[in-house]
Structure 1
Amino acid sequence: MSLHPRIEAVTDRIRRRSTYPRRAYLEVIDASLSAGPRRTRLSCGNLAHAFAASGPTDKGRLRADVAPNLGIITAYNDMLSAHQPFQTYPDIVRQVARELGATAQVAGGVPAMCDGVTQGRPGMELSLFSRDVIAQATAIALSHDMFDAALYLGVCDKIVPGLLIGALAFGHLPAVFVPAGPMTPGIPNREKAAVRERYAAGEATGEELLEAESASYHSAGTCTFYGTANSNQTLLEAMGLQLPGSSFVNPDTPLRQVLTRAAAERALHITALGQDYRPIGQLVDERAIVNAIAALMATGGSTNHTIHWVAVARAAGIVLSWDDIDEISQTVPLLAHVYPNGEADVNRFAAAGGTQFVFRELLDAGLMHDIPTIVAGGMRAYCDQPRVVDGRLGYAPGVASSADDTVLRPVSNAFESQGGLRLLRGNLGRALIKVSAVKPEYRRIHAPAVVVDDPRSLNTLHAAGALPHDFVAVVRYQGPKANGMPELHSLAPLLGLLQNQGRRVALVTDGRLSGASGKIPAAIHITPEAAAGGPLARLREGDMILLDAQAGILEAQVDAQEWKLRTLAPNTTRPSHNLGRNLFAFSRAFVSPADEGALSISCGPPSPEHGWEEVDAEYELGHDAQAAAAPHEAKDA
């Protein structure tokens, strides 16, 4: 099947826009490769430190420098259910490496915080910045130059994007991402959400709420809704960076165990010491990025990735924009209904055909690139179903048709003709909305603004009976510069309750929402944010707001001259200094806007003296590289 013309056009636009940074990035990889295996550059003292704690067999192989050495980057901790299974993975990887005449070492650990624990708490203000800390910690772990490939053990929200950014900083190394799988089903997500709403209405006790939450989050493994963590897994497979079909296999099962062993084997086979070298920096190109976004849209994945994958792309020298994401979303149909977009959890999604079905549909429709991956066979290999065959990993063809068309459908009978997200534009800036989680009748609202700077104020206003019947809750000063851009999922029960009562409500914010959020129309990630002088700071209580997800409009309906003359309202919330927030003052001061990845670190190759921005603009107008470079050459002269 030939590539869909709009997917081809978006990919080409990204490629041209990224010409200079991508070239600079690949030059770094080429330079690292030409220098040969990394350990050969270590002095005797360096090397002795690196294998001092190893056993005799491993020490002998590391001294000889002829066998590959795997670096393991782990986000293990036993508070996160999704990461608890990683406790045993390093021993499995070391065993596999020894059986194959190689070695493996835990290179380092990275922090892994749980957004489910910090929702509505001060700790949530550290969540987004933890991604960049994880990237830096990954770089520190790999900086010893001891490794020929790396395995990345991580699943959840900021952890996978952080690991991926860190891995791309060492783009000459092959990389295999290793998931842990989702927990088995608990109570239905809708039932849990209903208890939350009853609690918000004062109709359920705290004990009832805790019982419901505990029945939902009940064992080791990823939370079963299709939020950021599980979206991470789909996107990694769409980019060909973890084994086919490995995302949604439950922990502590025979298939999970053989997948973990096979991941270690594959990492050993694709190093520069063999004949099938596959460095991550060459695999992750503009086609892989487009694949990730197409898969995100087809499955109705998390809005957080409109920030994270912009940052990931930049780490590989690729310039991805929200306009690209929006165009892909308008091209790729919605093929999955998984909570919060539907009733099913990820276990039912996998049973219905899972990522294998989605990828085959996208490939056959020309909506996904068939690209090189960590395995032979390209993306077509990701249409096959993993199996245990004589104690080892094998594959069988994926299902020919969906096993449950309430959960998964083909392109010819999609749930919607467009994907899960939409870009909104207007005099309030640019924002994203997750349309796949909102019923069509709620996708347009015209109502007065209720403006707050502290999300907890909405609950106070509700308790006092001070909220209008219909309104748009404007929660500003929640962007990355203001307070680290926390998720505002704690507002979902209240707003969901009011919508259930027949009231028309919506959320407009420069903050984020959880990947589990849905039901309520929410314009999020507004850029520029209020703390950067964005238009949200011009809003006043009672201003009429139009949010139209179908038309892509977000605007305050205020006289243009009055709007222009308005002063910016100051942030009325007092800054918090507890739970380590003060340690991230530098990050808040220098973070980039949400549509540029909300990066608080330098990401990707260094810019040339005059920058890429002017050149990129000329590429957008269709000029070739020589014409674009000419003004800069004259300026240099």
Structure 2
Amino acid sequence: SYHGAGTCTFYGTANSNQMMMELMGLHVPGSAFTNPGTKLRQELTRAATHRVAQIGWDGDDYRPLSRCIDEKAIVNAAIGLLATGGSTNHAIHLPAIARAAGIIIDWQDFDELSHAVPLLARVYPNGAGDVNNFHAAGGIGYVVRELLGAGLLHGDVLTVGGTMADYASEPVLVNDELHWQAAPAESRDDNMLRPAAAPFSPDGGMRLLAGNLGRAIIKTSAVAEDRWTIEAPCRIFDDQNQVLAAFKAGELERDVVVVVRFQGPRANGMPELHKLTPALGVLQDKGFRVALLTDGRMSGASGKVPAVIHLSPEALPGTDGASGPLAYLQDGDMVRVCAVNGEVVALVDDAIWAARTPAVAPPPALGVGRELFALFRHHADEAEKGGSAVLAAMEAVTG
């Protein structure tokens, strides 16, 4: 339950969405984190309404979504995500958005951008302050100005109003009238926001891992560097409740790579695995070398524990009947995950691996409407393509 109207103050998927809308030029500047129930929010809503009327098809400034969303807008969204340490869910959502616009972006693109884009913000769970603190420190206007100034953002995208430079501003009320002023020249809180010349980290903290287990991503922005590489025996689970039961029984009190499989788009629609963060964090605090490996999601909640997520192909057999490599792992197999070298590898002899048969997925959960979405899950494509049944079907028809 939230503390009030609006989105949560946690910098997860919803607030990362808000940020990306501004970085793509699709919001009224500065509106992403303005609190609801205020005069300023009311005036921003009014301004947005007027702007929608001005850019309609029968006006003199026609700006449909199809013209605003191009390759540069998609790249700007990814850059904003990396620069602010946003939700890893957008490693799924942004490729799906791009594909709907006829644009291909994958995790290799995220990885390469991450090596070039510095981390300018630390917002909870990557820092102590929430999105309200981030907004007060200078927020998106400050981030846009820093990225533009460092040549790290496309300034020539078509926005819903003005240029990208107009988003380097913040809305204010002057005598109850809406105005925009330049974003602060300096961060109002360098524990929250830092300039591109002196960032929290030289890279954006989202990396591609690849190996004999498939392709996955890891968010390193909140993970201590001495934990970017974990090599340990794995323990296999089919859902997060099994993990919690093993944790409470003391069965995970050791160095371990916790594997949670059959959590991908086709298996069960990729539910959030946020229940795992506290338990794995406790194990890590006790001094154990711990990592999570899953074909499911963690969003921005992965926090300080190395979490290798969205592993593709997922464990559940695809349309070709082949199970993903994750289905061949067994308890006790040594697994190495390494954000330094970009590896996710099962250290199992090839002959032993070839002799194995894949694990069988548990029966699908029933109730609360899950049956209605079974058709979508069955046809969903892999996480790196956006996990979209609709786009997969469109591509199958059009080739």
TM-score range, shorter chain: over 0.9
**Shift in Å at residue 282 of structure 1?**
0.7
Query: Residues 301 and 420 of structure 1 are in contact (CA less than 8 Å); yes or no, is this contact kept in structure 2?
Result: no
Number of the residue aligned with 1:278: 63
**Residue 258 (structure 1) aligned with residue 43 (structure 2):** yes
Query: Residues 225 and 516 of structure 1 are in contact (CA less than 8 Å); yes or no, is this contact kept in structure 2?
Result: no
Number of the residue aligned with 1:373: 159
**Residue 552 (structure 1) aligned with residue 342 (structure 2):** yes
Query: Residues 424 and 430 of structure 1 are in contact (CA less than 8 Å); yes or no, is this contact kept in structure 2?
Result: yes
Letter in 1 for 2:135: A
Distance 2:306 2:247 in 1: 19
Within 5 A, what are the aligned runs for 1:197-596?
Answer: 217-370=2-155, 371-376=157-162, 378-532=163-317, 533-571=323-361, 573-596=362-385
Number of the residue aligned with 2:320: none
User: Over residues 554-584 of structure 1, what are the superposed CA-to-partner deviations in whole Å (9 max), with x where a residue is unaligned?
Assistant: 111111222233221112x332111111111
* 3-state SS, counterpart of residue 412 of structure 1: coil
**Shift in Å at residue 421 of structure 1?**
0.8
Letter in 1 for 2:225: P
Distance 2:47 2:72 in 1: 26
Query: Residues 461 and 467 of structure 1 are in contact (CA less than 8 Å); yes or no, is this contact kept in structure 2?
Result: yes
Structure 2 unaligned regions, length at least 5: 318-322
**Shift in Å at residue 219 of structure 1?**
1.6
Letter in 2 for 1:291: N
Query: Residues 253 and 288 of structure 2 are in contact (CA less than 8 Å); yes or no, is this contact kept in structure 1?
Result: no
Distance 1:595 1:251 in 2: 34
**Shift in Å at residue 367 of structure 1?**
1.0
Distance 1:446 1:260 in 2: 51
Query: Residues 453 and 475 of structure 1 are in contact (CA less than 8 Å); yes or no, is this contact kept in structure 2?
Result: yes
Decide whether aligned partners of structure 1 residues 592 and 604 sit closer, same or farther in structure 2, where only a CA change above 3 A counts.
closer
* 3-state SS, counterpart of residue 531 of structure 1: coil
**Shift in Å at residue 605 of structure 1?**
7.2
Letter in 2 for 1:238: L
Decide whether aligned partners of structure 1 residues 518 and 317 sit closer, same or farther in structure 2, where only a CA change above 3 A counts.
same
What percentage of aligned pairs have identical amino acids?
A: 53
Distance 1:363 1:320 in 2: 22
Number of the residue aligned with 1:69: none
**Shift in Å at residue 322 of structure 1?**
1.2
* 3-state SS, counterpart of residue 197 of structure 2: helix
Decide whether aligned partners of structure 1 residues 541 and 590 sit closer, same or farther in structure 2, where only a CA change above 3 A counts.
same
Query: Residues 315 and 605 of structure 1 are in contact (CA less than 8 Å); yes or no, is this contact kept in structure 2?
Result: no
Query: Residues 216 and 312 of structure 2 are in contact (CA less than 8 Å); yes or no, is this contact kept in structure 1?
Result: yes
* 3-state SS, counterpart of residue 523 of structure 1: strand
Number of the residue aligned with 2:391: 602
Query: Residues 300 and 419 of structure 1 are in contact (CA less than 8 Å); yes or no, is this contact kept in structure 2?
Result: yes
**Shift in Å at residue 550 of structure 1?**
1.9
* 3-state SS, counterpart of residue 394 of structure 1: strand
Distance 2:395 2:377 in 1: 21
The alignment covers a number of residue pairs equal to 393
Query: Residues 30 and 169 of structure 2 are in contact (CA less than 8 Å); yes or no, is this contact kept in structure 1?
Result: yes
Distance 1:459 1:608 in 2: 43
**Shift in Å at residue 231 of structure 1?**
0.4
Structure 1 unaligned regions, length at least 5: 1-213, 612-637
Letter in 1 for 2:103: I
Letter in 1 for 2:263: Q
User: Over residues 523-570 of structure 1, what are the superposed CA-to-partner deviations in whole Å (9 max), with x where a residue is unaligned?
Assistant: 000000000311101101001111111221111111122223322111
Query: Residues 11 and 130 of structure 2 are in contact (CA less than 8 Å); yes or no, is this contact kept in structure 1?
Result: yes
* 3-state SS, counterpart of residue 301 of structure 2: coil
Query: Residues 317 and 604 of structure 1 are in contact (CA less than 8 Å); yes or no, is this contact kept in structure 2?
Result: no
Within 5 A, what are the aligned runs for 1:591-630?
Answer: 591-602=380-391, 611=399
**Shift in Å at residue 603 of structure 1?**
7.0
Query: Residues 317 and 605 of structure 1 are in contact (CA less than 8 Å); yes or no, is this contact kept in structure 2?
Result: no
Decide whether aligned partners of structure 1 residues 607 and 543 sit closer, same or farther in structure 2, where only a CA change above 3 A counts.
closer
